[in-house]
Amino acid sequence: MDTTARPEVSPTPRHRRTIAVTGSGSGIGAAVSRRFERSGLRVIGIDVHDAQVTADLSGPGGRAQALAAVTELSGSRLDGLVVCAGLGPQVQPTEMIAHVNYFGAVDVLDGMLPLLAEGEAPAAVVVSSNSASLTPAHEELLGLLLDGDEEKACACAADVDGATVYGMTKLALTRAMRRRAGAWGKVGVRLNAVAPGPVDTPLLAGGLEDPVLGPLIEALPVPMGRRATAVEIAAAIGFLLDPANSYIHGSVLFVDGGSDALLRPDSL
Ligand code: NAD
């Protein structure tokens, strides 16, 4: 008998899983928080309102405050992270979209990696958008975002229309996710993105009310013939965070009713 054989890893987690969710106060973040809480997980919500951790992720001070609070509340150990906080393309000034959607997201990801590395079957999901692939590229803004110079990137974003800034922040966030697959894989933390199409939330309602953006959003063809609910996006996020899906890493899951496939059928 081989007495050196390692015991099989139990599929049942040894402790209550703890998941941090940014943007937990509304829409997709609220739906994913409810989903996890219903299945017995512990959720640490982060938002500017209606959250356990109140923090403004638009600047370095609020991001540091969020990290300190989550470190303390979680005992320096997270099993999951959902980076969901975001602003829609209708928000003015447009540089705020870059501060929150890109820099707020990557700083939270990088700041919380050490907590995730201590977790059990840990994974993170960033909420991108199908705007990442459907928005015509603004190479200068995209390059500045990915270079990580918040001041220069946001100065550039200030002179660009909101829909383009939104699309570039989501494209940069998707690339930032993919660029981290190597390093995160080495420390055993899975990292993926969901790319939703239009989802019925307050963010989308704001876009629909905008006289320029509203008709553009309405014109997006969706093969499924309807918009998503936040609950449907939460299900996809739950799938990517589930320890059973242990080999999914560095992937972008489109949850857009088929719009990206319809408009870019040969993109792979
Ligand atoms: P939402 O407005 O309902 O929720 C976004 C949450 O983020 C809010 O609770 C808000 O307070 C929070 N937030 C915004 N700025 C913040 C800041 N500076 N610091 C901390 N929290 C902040 O919107 P939603 O539709 O649920 O959006 C969630 C994510 O999904 C966003 O990243 C958005 O870009 C993305 N998304 C949404 C859609 C859609 O159609 N609704 C489509 C694709 C992607």
State the burial class of residue 109 (Cβ atoms within 10 Å of its Cβ: 0-12, 13-18, 19+): buried
Asked if residue 265 belongs to a domain, the reply is no
Asked if residue 267 belongs to a domain, the reply is no
pLDDT of residue 14: 63
Asked if residue 10 belongs to a domain, the reply is no
- Mean pLDDT over 72-87 rounds to 98
Asked whether the predicted pLDDT for residue 5 surpasses 60, the reply is: no
pLDDT of residue 19: 98
Asked if residue 32 belongs to a domain, the reply is yes
Per-residue pLDDT tens digits for 180-215? 999 999 999 999 999 999 999 999 999 999 999 999
Are 241 and 183 spatial neighbours (Cβ–Cβ below 8 Å)?
no
pLDDT of residue 15: 80
The identity of residue 15, as a single letter, is: H
**Residue 218 confidence class, pLDDT cut points 50, 70, 90:** very high
Per-residue pLDDT tens digits for 110-163? 999 999 999 999 999 999 999 999 999 999 999 999 999 999 999 999 999 999
Residue 83 dihedral angles phi and psi, to the nearest 5°: -100, 95
User: What is the pTM assigned to this prediction?
Assistant: 0.95
pLDDT of residue 8: 46
- Mean pLDDT over 41-57 rounds to 97
Mean pLDDT of the chain: 95
Asked whether the predicted pLDDT for residue 80 surpasses 50, the reply is: yes
> In the chain, how long is the greatest CA-to-CA distance?
74
Asked whether the predicted pLDDT for residue 6 surpasses 60, the reply is: no
Query: How far is residue 166 from each of residues 60, 83, 93, 101, 250, measured CA to CA in Å?
Result: 20, 16, 12, 8, 21
CA of 25 to the centre of ligand 1 (A): 9
**Ligand 1 atom 2, closest CA:** 203
**Ligand 1 atom 15, closest CA:** 86
In the chain, the percentage of residues whose pLDDT exceeds 70 is: 95
- Catalytic status, residue 102: no
Asked whether the predicted pLDDT for residue 224 surpasses 90, the reply is: yes
State the burial class of residue 232 (Cβ atoms within 10 Å of its Cβ: 0-12, 13-18, 19+): middle
**Catalytic site residue from 36, 102, 103, 166:** 166
Q: Before 93, cis peptide (omega within 30)?
A: yes
Asked if residue 262 belongs to a domain, the reply is no
pLDDT of residue 9: 41
Q: The domain containing residue 94 runs over which residues? A: 18-257
DSSP 228: B
pLDDT of residue 230: 98
pLDDT of residue 225: 97
Q: Which CATH number covers residue 94?
A: 3.40.50.720
Name the domain count of the chain.
1
Provide residues with CB under 6 Å of ligand 1: 23, 25-29, 47-49, 56-58, 84-87, 100, 104, 127, 129, 196, 198-199, 201-204
What are the residues whose beta carbons fall under 8 Å from the beta carbon of 124, sequence distance 6 or more? Answer: 80, 81, 82, 83, 109, 112, 116, 184, 189, 190, 191, 192, 241
- Mean pLDDT over 13-22 rounds to 87
- Mean pLDDT over 171-179 rounds to 98
Residue 199 dihedral angles phi and psi, to the nearest 5°: -125, 135
pLDDT of residue 207: 97
3-class SS at 21? Answer: strand
Asked if residue 4 belongs to a domain, the reply is no
**Ligand 1 atom 3, closest CA:** 27
Could you give the CA distance from residue 103 to residue 145 in angstroms, rounded to a whole number? 8
Asked if residue 49 belongs to a domain, the reply is yes
Asked if residue 219 belongs to a domain, the reply is yes
pLDDT of residue 149: 96
Cβ neighbours around 51 below 10 Å, total: 24
**Ligand 1 atom 23, closest CA:** 203
pLDDT of residue 112: 98
In the chain, the percentage of residues whose pLDDT exceeds 90 is: 94
